[in-house]
Amino acid sequence: MLRAERVSLCIALLGALSLAACDLGTVRKLDPATGKAIIEEEHQAFDARTWVATNWSSRVVPTVGKGAIPFSTLRSALAEDQDAATRRYRSGTGAGRPSFLVSGVARVLAVDTTSRSGVARLDLEPFDGTLDAELQIGPVFRGTALRDALPFIRFDDFTNQMEYASVSRVLHDRVADSVVAKVGRARLAGRVIEFEGAYTEDAGIPLITPVVLRVRE
C-alpha cells in the first residue's frame, strides 16, 4: 500500500513540474469562415480607417472609374442573358451575389430621406420619367456592394470577418463624407447627375453606392 502511494505521489509531482515548465497560451475563438483566431477589436493591428484613407484616392476611385460599365449597357445585357452578362461584367472576388462597377447619367426623380438609409430615385438616360435605380445617399448605407465590387479587396487578405466587415463600414463613411456631403443631398431633387459606383444584383430595384457624384449645372 505504501509503495502505491509513493508511485501516485511521484506521478502527481511530475505532472506539476510539467505544467510549470509550459507557457500557458491564450485561448481564442476561431472565425468559422477562415479558421483563424478572432482578435478582439481593441487589440487588432488592422485599422480600417487608415486602410481606406490610404487607398481611396490611389486605388478605389481609379478602379471604379476604369472598370465602370454604363448602367444601361449592363442592364440590357443582364436582361438578354444573365449568366453571360455576369461572367463578362462581374467585378470583385466574392462568391455570393454578383457585384458590378457602373456609371451613368440620370435625372433625380425624388430624394427620400424619411429613413437614415436615404436614397435618390433615378431615371436613367434616355429620360422617360420611370424609376430605373436608386442611389444611396445615406447617412446609413445598406449592403456591401462597394467593397465586394473592388477586385483588389480579398477576404483572405484579412485576419477575420471583423476586419473584412470594417472595411465596408469605413468605405461607406468615406462615401458619406467625401462624395455625398460635397454635393449636398438637398441639391439633388430634379437635377441631372453623373455617377460612378457599385451595386449588387438583386431581384429588387438596383441600389447603387456612389464613389463619384456630379450635378450637372
Q: Which fold has domain 43-215?
A: OB fold (Dihydrolipoamide Acetyltransferase, E2P) (2.40.50)
Q: Which burial class, exposed, middle or buried, applies to 106 when counting CB atoms under 10 A from its CB (0-12, 13-18, 19+)? A: buried
pLDDT in tens, 117-141: 999 999 999 999 999 999 999 999 9
Give the Cα separation of 11 and 163 in Å (integer).
46
Q: Where are the domains of the chain?
A: 43-215
pLDDT in tens, 160-174: 999 999 999 999 999
pTM of the model as a whole: 0.79
